Structure 1
Amino acid sequence: MTKVNAVFDIGKTNKKFFLFDEDYNEVYRDYVNLPLTVDEDGFETENLETLRSWIKETFDTILEDSRFDIKTLNFSSYGASLVHLDYKGKPLTPLYNYTKDIPKEILEDFHTKHGDKLTIGAATASPPSSGMLNSGMQLYWLKKTKPELFSQIKYSLHLPQYLSYLFTGIPVSEYTSIGCHTNLWNYDEEDYHKWVHDEGIDKILPAIVPTSASINTTYKDKKIKIGVGIHDSSSALLPYILSKKKPFLLLSTGTWSIALNPFNSESLSKEDIEDNCLNYLRIDGKRVKASRFFMGNEYRLQVEKLCEYYQKEYGYHRDVIFDRDIYLKLIKMPAVYFKFEGISLQRLPHRTDLELFDTFEEAYHQLMIELMELQIDTINKAIGNSNIKKIFIDGGFTDNDVFMKLMSHHFSSFKVLSTHSPLGSALGAAMVISDKQITSQFLKENYRMKKLVPLLF
């Protein structure tokens, strides 16, 4: 019987369950896509009851599997999502989708009462949002629009902590969930922001415990150490923090490109907030400076247009490799040719002009050059004044040859490494409640690290 660490990794789309042995080798996995539901306004959202049922059924089944001896259980999930429990421990509301908008008048009322967007945003390291992406605003919205329901809330739990609560019955809060652009945490004061106390919202937020905390409990006659859960972005960063002693930056690429710097303790300015900088909290409550832009989303939109213009099937772009001659030709005529759809920048033209590019490959290289300009900017903002000489790149764009070659070129004074880990945040969730030390060698072997060679022209 293999001793294992169990992790539920709950993404917006894929729900995953992993078992890791004592050396963090994956020995079992289960993936599922669960049907969504709608809230009272017809807005699509996670079906909390379906999610709860799948988690309980999956875990109960694996407990009966004679191949495995489960020693620990932890949870990683997306953030900006709250579960509001009544005095009997039952959810009072749907799990509201963080893309749902909050009425403009509610936001205006909040800022009139508690401070302007940039002042609050700088203090809480949370760029303003029109919706529930700043999840603390959901609590303000509930208090103002549904006061009778709000009065019934005993505890509001961040989603990772609710998943833990399903097994322990103990409500807690922890740093990584509090710190992910919630508008709740004053980073300089290292406490909830004054508005949280003024509105009495702190009374329904459970006691804060370290992310590494665990609860020894008996579940169905089995003694198990159960973690309190962790926010997925912080969890994905954790293996690097645990195994690397010298400062580094992690560039996480995908729908968003997020530059994460765990070694920058500077307070954010109003200008940082305007530039879409933010902070996350590490498991020990220290800040992680981050800068992000909607790269993957913009990339997808523009590639679709390129495929249509050059009459290529979508997917053709995946085989485009870096062409030195095309690149040298394009940088001799620097200009902006793409009108970005999902990124608002004053420098962009009113329409995309592809007439100067003879081939798909030329236009594609130009697109990547223009996206790289934004990427360079976000990385430099995240680095700030910290002494960083090493950059790790993970996520979907590590398979993009043009992107990776441009990264190696523009950051030639850094040691740049690509990493591949299909386990992502699940591995961090297993590690955070373990006593086992993580080494650089472990990271090198399991993340398939590859050093990028700077281009020579």
Structure 2
Amino acid sequence: MPVPVIAVFDIGKTNKKLLLLNEQYHIVFEQQTCMQETTDEAGDPCEDLHLLINNMRQQLAAVLAMEAFEVKAVNVSAYGASLVYIDESGAPAGPLYNYLKPYPEELSNRFYATYGDRERFSHETASPALDSLNAGLQLYRIRHRQPLLFSRTRYALHLPQFLGYLFSGQVFSEMTSIGCHTGLWDFARKQYHTWVDREGWLDKLPPIVPATRTTPVHIAHHALQAGVGIHDSSAALVPYLLQFHEPFVLLSTGTWCISMNPFNHEPLTTEELQQDCLCYIRYDGLPVKSSRLFAGHTHETAAQEIAGFFGEDHQSYKVLPYDPEVTAQLAQSPEFSILEMSRYENSTAAYHHLVMMLVKQQQHATRLVLGHTAVKKLFVDGGFARNNIYMQLLAKAFPEMEVYAATVSQASAMGAALVIHDSWNTQSVPADLVQLKHYA
């Protein structure tokens, strides 16, 4: 008998994955693809949209043909802050612009002069002013700099929903994509901000449906349910929300370390916005107060500098044991600096000092999202969850909380499967989605 599975595409900036999960949420098949970027009309790097589309269609056709599996559903988790413009025929009308594309300063100034100064607008939309990283400002740029693309566009779809549309044939918007620092959503009024209508985009944004929505489809003679797609950061939170019902904060660590408090619904303050806080929206529509820290990138760069100075392999530092005597001595030292490597007697001291600095910054960033919530648990997933020095120091930095290293296999993909659980899975949701290791 073929095994019933869901196919999930997990589309990151660098890695694109196709995973098959069985009814117990075990990964039974995984395929990873790295794709070369292309460039837009200005020569800026961007996703090769046509290559991505063709690759996903071919991969789904291949797994549908496998006799070992019965694919019951398909869904997508993908990165946010990116939009696909489709024409009347449903084909892409322009490139998939990169969210790091330089934004014209004059246009940015004009936008805020028209629709409220940066501070007020950021409050209303829970979006720090991030230029192209605010997907709404990409729409504004097209309206004013690319009138041909604007007139050709029938619908503007967030990337997760465009990739869902490839299989469902239905155009939708969805709250986890609208609510990730886009500048599109008025959080107090719970509707699109007034500028969206005034700029002529309201009719080009598809109807909003919940992340739990599916569409019955036939693909290559197979009947399956197609999901609408979900923003990857919000998808990664879903396994935790389903398994843990007491308040918690999730610290998701990678290049960016993002602290997410799904239980803090207080409006963002000016101070929080200035310190890179924002709100995501959960798959069930509630806001998630979050803060960002570029700590993974800082760690990688500095660890390579330490290794270069001491003539070692920087990968070895990730498994260094925690030495409380070293941290006690370093506590009296000035801040870690890669410019003063000679002051350390060995790489162990230098690396401990680097992690102490990162944890101190993380302590501040995470405390920003605690608010008045009665959070007692801090879950850490991603790269730093496997770093013993980091986890020990983080537990010391939050003595009033239970600090856990959390392991979820492919959390974003699992979240995309879980939100449409009822449409493909005959079993109940397992109680052990997340594995925990406690640090006292």
Give the TM-score category using the shorter length: over 0.9
Say yes or no: does 1:60 pair with 2:61: yes
Report matched runs for 1:101-116 at 5 Å: 101-116=102-117
Say whether 1:378 aligns with 2:369: no
- The answer on 1:434 being equivalent to 2:416 is no
Find the counterpart in structure 2 of residue 346 from structure 1: none
User: For the Cα contact (< 8 Å) 2:239–2:415, is it kept in 1?
Assistant: yes
2:248 corresponding residue in structure 1: 248
Contact 2:24 2:429 in 1 (8 A): no
Work out the number of aligned pairs and report it.
Answer: 435
Tell me if structure 2 keeps the 8 A contact 1:123–1:268.
no
Q: Describe how 1:28-427 pairs up with structure 2 within 5 A.
A: 28-130=29-131, 132-331=132-331, 333-338=332-337, 352-427=339-414
Q: How far, CA to CA, are the matches of 1:126 and 1:163 in structure 2?
A: 24
Kept in 1, the 8 Å contact 2:360–2:397? The answer is no
Distance 1:284 1:314 in 2: 41
Q: Supply the AA of the counterpart residue of 1:65.
A: M
Q: Using the TM superposition, name which of 314-323 and 384-393 deviates more.
A: 314-323
Corresponding residue of 2:10: 9
Give the SS at the match of 1:75: strand
- Deviation sequence 1:12-56 (CA, Å, 0-9, x none): 111111111111111111111122211111111111111111111
TM-score, scaled to structure 2: 0.96
Residue identity matched to 2:295: M
1:173 and 1:208 in contact (8 A); partners too: yes
Q: Cα offset for 1:312? A: 2.3
Please say if residues 215 and 227 of structure 1, whose CA atoms lie closer than 8 Å, have aligned partners that are also in contact. Answer: yes
Residue 437 of structure 1, CA deviation:
4.2
Please tell me the residue identity of whatever aligns with 1:335. P
Classify the secondary structure of the residue corresponding to 1:241: helix
User: Which one-letter code corresponds to 2:235 in the other structure?
Assistant: S
Q: CA deviation at 1:185?
A: 0.9
Question: Could you tell me how far apart the structure 1 residues matched to 2:16 and 2:326 are?
Answer: 42
CA distance in 2, matches of 1:123, 1:373: 30
For the 8 Å contact 1:2–1:21, the answer to whether it is kept is: yes
Q: Which moved more, 1:73-82 or 1:416-425?
A: 416-425
Q: Distance in 1 between matches of 2:67 and 2:336?
A: 61
Matched to 2:206, the amino acid is: P
Q: Give 1:74 deviation, angstroms.
A: 0.5
Give the structure-1-normalised TM-score: 0.92
Q: 1:334 to 1:438 in 2, by over 3 A?
A: farther
Superposition deviation, residue 421 in structure 1:
2.4
| Paired residue type of 2:383 | G
1:334 positional shift: 4.6
Instruction: After superposition, give the CA deviation of every residue in 1:296-320 in whole Å (9 maximum; x if it has no partner).
Output: 0111121122222223233232232
CA deviation after TM superposition for structure 1 residue 365, in Å: 1.3
**1:270-328 Cα distance to aligned partner (Å, 9 max, x none):** 21110100000011211000011100011112112222222323323223221111111
Paired with 2:386 and 2:168, the residues of 1 have a C-alpha distance of: 41
- Whether the aligned pair in 2 keeps the contact of 1:45 and 1:95 (CA below 8 Å) is yes
Q: Contact conserved, 1:239 with 1:438, CA < 8 A, in 2?
A: no
User: What is the deviation of 1:2?
Assistant: 1.0
The amino acid that maps onto 2:334 is A
- Distance in 2 between residues matched to 1:270 and 1:393, nearest whole Å: 27
User: 2:384, 2:390 within 8 Å by CA — same for their partners in 1?
Assistant: yes
Change (3 A) 1:284 1:319: closer
For 1:347, the equivalent position in structure 2 comes to none
State the alpha-carbon separation in 2 of the partners of residues 437 and 138 from structure 1.
41
Q: Partner of 2:416: helix, strand, or coil?
A: helix
Name stretches of at least 5 consecutive residues in structure 2 with no aligned partner: none
AA in 2 matched with 1:438? V
